[in-house]
Every structure is written in C-alpha cells, then in structure tokens.
C-alpha cells in the first residue's frame, strides 16, 4: 500500500485526536446507562462532511448500523455521529430500529441538523432495548468542544471493558497545506454480557468525494481492521466511519492528484494505528502479536495466512507462556487456505530463525526466552511462493481472557 519513503511524509501529532482536524468538536457524558462511566458520545463537524463507512459482515447487523446506512445512502454526507455504550441495540427487531431512528432524530433536533446527516452507533448488551429516557437525557447533556478533554470524553464514552482509550492523530501536506486526520476507537473488550464490538471513528479536514473515500477505506480496512483478531468472533455492531469535511481548503482529492498517495498513507497510518491499539487491548491480553507473511502467491493469501497464525489459540497460549513453539505456527500455516509448499517455509520469532526451508534450525532457548518476555512479539514467515505480503495483529490468550468471559455473572 505505501512504501517507507512515502510513509515519512506522515507526521504523528502527539496529543492530537478526532478534534484536531479543522471544524470538528466532540463530547461525552454520563447518561446513566452505566453505573458511573460516560456512556453517550458525539462527534460533530461544522458542516456536513463527505463520508464513508464499512460495517460488520455479520448477518445480524444491529439496528444502529441500518440507520447509519440509511443516513449515508441519502446524500453521502454526515455531520454528526451519536454513540452509546452499554446496550448494542442488536437483535431487537422493529422496536430496536425505531429506537435507533429516534436517537438519530433527537440528535438532529438538538444540534439543528438534517436527520440524514446523523450516524448512529451502539455497543453493549445484545437482545435488550435501549433505555430511551436515558438516551434522550444524554443527548440533551452533550455540549461539544474542541479541546483535548472533549475528545477524551468521547473516547471514554464509547468504551466497554476496554482498559485504555484508543486514539490517534496524523498530518501530511496536500496542495502545500497541512491537513489532519484524527481517530478514536473502541476495541475488543467483551461487553456485558455478549460481544466484542469494534467501533472506529476517523475525522479529517481533507477535501475528498465520498465515493473515492469509500474505495480507499474499503481497501485499507482489508489490510488493517480486518487483520486484527482477538478471539475470532465477529460482532453484530462493528463499524468504521470516516468523515472528511474539506475544511483544510485544499482542492478535492482524486487518484489523479499529485498528493493522492499522501492521503492514502494518512488513512492507512490512522487505521493501522487504531487497529493495533485494539489488538493490544484485547481482553486479558499481555502482549501484542504482529505476524508478517511474505512470499505468498498474492497479498490476499499472505494476509489470510498471517491472520490464521495470529488467531490460533495454540499460538496465542504459547506466546502467553513465552514459549518458542514454532510447531504451532507450522500447524496454523498448514491449516490456512494459502498456497504453501511444505518444503520451503521459513519461520522466525523476533530476530531468531527457527525454521529455514522447512528444516528446524538450532537456536538458543535462552535468547528466545528473553525475546518472548517483551510485550510486542513479531513473527515472520516466508512461504517462498511468490511476492505476496501481508500482516495481521492479535494478542495472547491468558487466564484473564477466560476469567473475563466466563465469570462476569458469578
């Protein structure tokens, strides 16, 4: 997608967030859906923003996703997104849909927006109805601002069992002007009582048509958000939404624009940053695992093999146990649908080569043990079948994963 020299054109903005790009404000309040944590949040743009979104592939898409799709379908513009945690409004039938539309309507009224300029997202318990009185009260309480603490309020309001807030901010030059992109996400913490939901919201002041934005987002999602796995389960509520309000004043970006690649990198950096933060904060996780596969027959197969490895319970428990079990990596590769020659596989964990042309290599157990104590573990595989490359991210599988997911009621 992007090369190193291009990537240097992207700057990491320390302390930046979804409100750093021009024309965006945010808010997050405690509306009583949870005991004490903030639970209703909003991002709002000065003007209707071009936008793009991708959604869960689950066949049970939750009501808010349907409402958001309907909003975007009308004009491909979003000015605000309203989010609640604690209740996913999923598997809630007709009433759930009415509730999600009502949530959109209240937000439009409060901020004097067209209803179809409002996107809706929810995360939390499946099969329960939204507490609409609290949602209404929460929306009334929202007072968006631009300062760092407003972005933090939003970042907190969307969390469930996540341990940390997830955000990013990058900038680049387009038409000689500095443009910004900010992101906020919630991750793979299991929620009371049902599912891991991934939500990511990205704001930018770049000027780009929605159709181009959508094409790039889809492509980049395949190499970032779709390449993380915590437990292999897909939520009913997953959504990634990008708003581009054009407030930076640059010309509209198209693939023909000289700075097109800068924009693609900007979005790729943002998505990868949020995706890795989500993987790292997986339930019970103690380590981020990054798997890179090279030499597959194409990039898609490389990504598939990488995801199979990082999603293997055996690999995940081995990493948790700080054990250099390359046999489990072989097992995962052998099981993936990627084309493999059983006699030409290289595997290394960190700097240590363990398999070369499918033959076990002697290595220092002590050196391996020291490397595996790190909290970021890299696994590298070369299949020697072609030029396909891909990465995937996940986390280890610990006692706490079982504890969090088995014992919430007891």
Is 367 an interacting residue with respect to a copy of itself (CB under 8 A)? no
Of residues 185 through 214, those in contact with a copy of itself by CB under 8 A are 190, 193-196
Strand ranges in 34-145 using DSSP code E only, listed in sequence order: 40-55, 77-84, 118-122
Is 335 an interacting residue with respect to a copy of itself (CB under 8 A)? yes
Q: Which is nearer to a copy of itself, 36 or 407 (CB)?
A: 407
Of residues 131 through 190, those in contact with a copy of itself by CB under 8 A are 190
Whole-Å CA distances, 148 to 11, 21, 68, 213: 19, 12, 27, 26
d(CA 27, CA 139): 10
Q: How far is the CB of 378 from a copy of itself (least distance, A)?
A: 19
Is 84 an interacting residue with respect to a copy of itself (CB under 8 A)? no
Of the ranges 103-111, 173-181, 251-259, 320-328, which one interacts with a copy of itself (CB under 8 A)? 320-328
Is 405 an interacting residue with respect to a copy of itself (CB under 8 A)? yes
Of residues 86 through 115, those in contact with a copy of itself by CB under 8 A are 90-91, 93
**Active-site amino acid positions:** 197
Whole-Å CA distances, 359 to 331, 342, 343, 368: 15, 10, 8, 18
Burial of 197 per CB tally in 10 Å (0-12, 13-18, 19+): buried
Q: Which is nearer to a copy of itself, 112 or 409 (CB)?
A: 409
User: Which of residues 168, 200, 340, 379 is near a copy of itself by CB under 8 A?
Assistant: 340
β-bridge pairing 239-244 and 199-204: parallel
Strand ranges in 175-225 using DSSP code E only, listed in sequence order: 177-186, 199-204
d(CA 305, CA 379): 12
Q: Is 177:203 a contact under the CB 8 Å cutoff? A: no
d(CA 180, CA 168): 11
Which residues belong to the annotated binding site for substrate?
160, 186, 197, 283, 405, 410
- Applying CB under 8 A, the residues found at the interface with a copy of itself are 56-61, 90-91, 93, 125-128, 190, 193-196, 231-236, 312-314, 317-318, 320-323, 325-328, 330-335, 340, 342-343, 355, 358-360, 397-399, 401-403, 405-410
């Amino acid at each position: 997608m992007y090369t190193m020299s291009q990537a240097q054109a992207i700057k990491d903005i320390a302390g930046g967030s979804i409100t750093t790009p021009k024309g965006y404000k945010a808010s997050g309040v405690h509306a009583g859906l949870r005991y004490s944590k903030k639970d209703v949040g909003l991002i709002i743009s000065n003007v209707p923003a071009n936008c793009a979104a991708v959604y869960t592939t689950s066949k049970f898409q939750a009501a808010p996703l349907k409402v958001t799709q309907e909003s975007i379908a009308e004009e491909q513009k979003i000015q605000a997104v309203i989010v609640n945690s604690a209740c996913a409004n999923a598997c809630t039938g007709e009433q759930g849909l009415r509730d999600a539309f009502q949530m959109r309507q209240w937000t439009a009224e409060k901020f004097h927006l067209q209803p179809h300029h409002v996107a809706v997202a929810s995360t939390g318990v499946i099969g329960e109805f939204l507490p609409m009185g609290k949602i209404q009260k929460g929306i009334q309480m929202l007072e968006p601002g631009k300062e760092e603490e407003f972005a933090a309020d939003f970042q907190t309001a969307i969390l469930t069992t996540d341990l940390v807030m997830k955000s990013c901010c990058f900038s680049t030059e387009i038409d000689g002007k500095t443009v910004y992109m900010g992101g906020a996400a919630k991750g793979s913490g299991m929620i009371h009582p049902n599912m891991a939901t991934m939500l990511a919201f990205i704001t930018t002041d770049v000027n780009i048509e929605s159709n181009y934005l959508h094409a790039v987002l889809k492509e980049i999602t395949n190499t970032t958000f779709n390449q993380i796995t915590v437990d292999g389960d897909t939520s009913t509520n997953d959504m990634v939404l990008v708003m581009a309000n054009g407030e930076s004043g640059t010309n509209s970006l198209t693939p023909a624009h000289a700075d097109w690649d800068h924009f693609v990198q900007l979005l790729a950096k943002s998505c990868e940053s949020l995706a890795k933060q989500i993987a790292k904060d997986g339930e019970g996780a103690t380590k981020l695992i990054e798997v890179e596969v090279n030499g597959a027959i194409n990039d898609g197969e490389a990504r598939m093999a990488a995801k199979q490895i990082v999603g293997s319970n055996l690999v995940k428990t081995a990493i948790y146990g700080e054990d250099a079990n390359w046999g489990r990596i072989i097992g995962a590769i052998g099981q993936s649908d990627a084309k493999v020659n059983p006699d030409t596989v290289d595997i290394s964990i960190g700097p240590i080569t363990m398999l070369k042309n499918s033959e076990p290599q002697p290595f220092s157990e002590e050196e391996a043990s020291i490397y595996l104590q790190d909290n970021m573990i890299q696994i590298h595989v070369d299949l020697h079948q072609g030029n396909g490359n891909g990465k995937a991210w996940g986390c280890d599988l610990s006692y706490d994963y079982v504890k969090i997911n088995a014992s919430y009621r007891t």
